[in-house]
Amino acid sequence: MMRVHVGSNNPIKAQAVKNVFERAFGPTEVRLISVESGVPTQPFGDDTARGACERARKALLDADFGVGIEAGLIWHHELQLYFDVQFCAIISRDGKLTIGHGSGFVYPPKVIAEVLAGRPVGEVMSELTGIERLGHKMGAIGYLSKNLLTREQLTEQAVLMALIPRLRPELYEP
């Protein structure tokens, strides 16, 4: 059985990883490993992918794969908007690293204003919605989309995108 460690303490991330890995590779044991991302609590720009990579490396340990998932705000210069984008990094024992990200969405202006003032998105969204630990439940995307897209589904997108080179290695190998 394949063993995968996820660099997080969020069970939604573990379930999303399990869902995608089992569809791709069959039975998979997934374990949460609490690690530090090495980036600010609220990542912006390149820190988002950097945090995912750091989480994956630290989580690998004795597993077949280490997975890191990090959401952050990515600035789009042309549109003058921040998009919330979730990156996923997957590292194997041989050191091969693959990365992908899911779809992005825009927070309400009030949320962005609070985040730019120094507060993390999760804290602002929990306060706004009245749902404690929103990120461990439906997530901001679940709330904002009226559950048309769940946090688990959004995370699955990022995990699948990071797996693409592993699903068709013949197209990615030199």
Give domain status of residue 7, yes or no. Answer: yes
pTM of this prediction? Answer: 0.95
DSSP-assigned letter for residue 131: -
Per-residue pLDDT, 33:
98
Structural domains in the chain (count): 1
Quick check: is 90 in a domain?
Answer: yes
CATH code of the domain containing 138: 3.90.950.10
The percentage of the chain sitting over the pLDDT mark of 70, rounded to a whole number, equals 100
| Beta strands, E only, 36-163 | 65-76, 81-92, 97-101
Establish if 134 belongs to a structural domain: yes
DSSP 105: B
Distance from C-alpha of 111 to C-alpha of 108, rounded to nearest angstrom: 5
Instruction: Please check whether residue 83 lies inside any domain of the structure.
Output: yes
pLDDT the model gives residue 133:
86
115 belongs to a structural domain? yes
- Give the pLDDT band of residue 43 (cuts 50, 70, 90): very high
Residue 133: HSE in the Cβ half-sphere, 13 Å Cα cutoff: 6
pLDDT of residue 134: 84
Residue 128 CB coordination number (10 Å): 16
Decide if pLDDT at 136 tops 80.
no
Determine, yes or no, domain membership for 117.
yes
- Buried residues in 135-147 as b, exposed as e (16+ CB within 10 A): bbebbbbbbbeee
Q: What pLDDT is recorded for position 138?
A: 85
Residue reference for tokens 């030199």: 174
Range of the domain at 116: 2-168
- Distance between CA atoms of residues 100 and 86, nearest Å: 9
63-109 pLDDT, tens digit each: 999 999 999 999 999 999 999 999 999 999 999 999 999 999 999 99
For all residues of the chain together, what is the average pLDDT?
96
Q: How confident is the model over 9-34, as a mean pLDDT? A: 97
In a domain, 173, yes or no: no
Is position 174 within any domain? no
